[in-house]
Amino acid sequence: MTTEVYRKVFVLYTGGTIGMGYNADGLLEPMRLKHLEEFLIKMTILYEKKPNETEEQARARIVSKDGWIFLPQKAVDDYPSVDEKTKYHVLYKIKTVEPPIDSSKMVPEKWFEIADRIRAVEEQYDGFVVLHGTDTMAYTSSALSFILKDLKKPVILTGAQRSIFHPRSDAEDNFIGAMLIAGCYSKTAALQKVMLCNDCKLFQGNRVCKFDCDSFRVFDSPNMKPLAYLDTIIKVRDCKSDPVEETIFVNRQETARDGCLPDVRLLRFFPGIQEKYVRSVLEGADGVVLETFGSGNAPEHDWLKEALIEAGRREVVMLNCTQVYRGTVLPIYAASEAGVVFGYDITPEAAMTKMIWTLKTFPDFETRRQVLEASICGESSAPPKQIKFIQKVLT
């Protein structure tokens, strides 16, 4: 006797190239949800329509009366079930962020909005897929990894280089791949995190960079292998996390509550960088991500060291990451004397989003430094630490 297992996936459409179409003026813009949803239904009908069955009859099977859409069963059957007597089905509902946007318009406030949308329905679904433009997807996947670090369900961002409405689109592969992971693998502990699916590879969301804007192979993970390969056979890598031996204790009453975002800036070093420019970046900032040379090196100017030390005294939080595509920042250069936190092999995208999340969440300067010094959700090879909120008893 076959056991039927149904996995439910929440799909959130934020915009991006995957849903692009031409408006009345002949310009490309993200289409409204109804156009994308109708296309996805017709795509499933294409694969699932039985002989002598009308499109209306197929639609009645594929879309339930209460609005659930079935993922193409032929794709779901690719899931390598350990039990031959178990048959999986993936159902989904698709909602939208209003209005859907090109990802170049993404802002940090939207990261928290996306996270809130997921949190609001987390008990109703087994997994989550976020449709997003590729230009800033690595920032959003990194940000969500921190904001949703305790979710313990798969959240997968995906998109496309060409619109799903284009005959040569990569959208179908990316969408179905993300849906399979979010549904069929929702109980796989190693994949209960924020991830990014692109070109038949599944990456950890806070370890990716966009490295090609012309290819369908858009993303890479410079310091970490993909979590899974979605080829003719789906292969999930045996991922083992480092044991967490230390805890950062935070008084819940001292966590930030207001909706203001911190003033976080980027200081990228280059030959001939001037003091006036450096001080203008540091002055008035809440946090600064330093992109330095090689393994964390910076020009050996007295004025630079003084500027960094002065910023530290003003409790400007500074995180050092390398501007090189692959490698690790080491605490061996002069910046360490100025109290700069070393980011190990964190990507610039993860460094920026972790800084914003940390400063928004923790108002205390030393706590901020502790959080940035550690690997909180696998974003770097720094010593892993967990955050535990405690309720301080007032006397």
The token duo for 161 is 């280089």
What does DSSP say about strands 127-131 and 3-15: parallel, antiparallel, or unpaired? parallel
- Name the catalytic one among 14, 44, 96, 134: 134
Alpha carbons within 13 A on the beta-carbon side of 189: 4
Note if 17 is an active site residue: yes
Query: What is the C-alpha to C-alpha distance for residues 202 and 382, in angstroms, rounded to an integer?
Result: 22
Instruction: Answer for the pair 158, 177: CB distance below 8 angstroms, yes or no.
Output: yes
Is 134 annotated to bind ligand? yes
99 cis-preceded (ω within 30 degrees of 0): yes
Measured between alpha carbons, how far is 362 from 142 in angstroms, rounded to an integer?
A: 18
Crossing angle for the helix pair 348-361 and 137-147, nearest 10 degrees? 40
Catalytic, 134? Answer yes
Residue ranges of E strands in the chain:
3-15, 20-22, 28-30, 69-70, 86-101, 127-131, 155-158, 194-198, 201-204, 209-210, 219-220, 228-230, 234-236, 246-251, 264-268, 287-292, 317-322, 341-342, 385-390
Q: Are 81 and 234 in contact (CB under 8 A)?
A: no
Cα angle: 334, vertex 335, 338; to 5 degrees: 105
Binding residues: 103, 134-135
Binding residues for substrate: 103, 134-135
Catalytic residue numbers read 17, 134
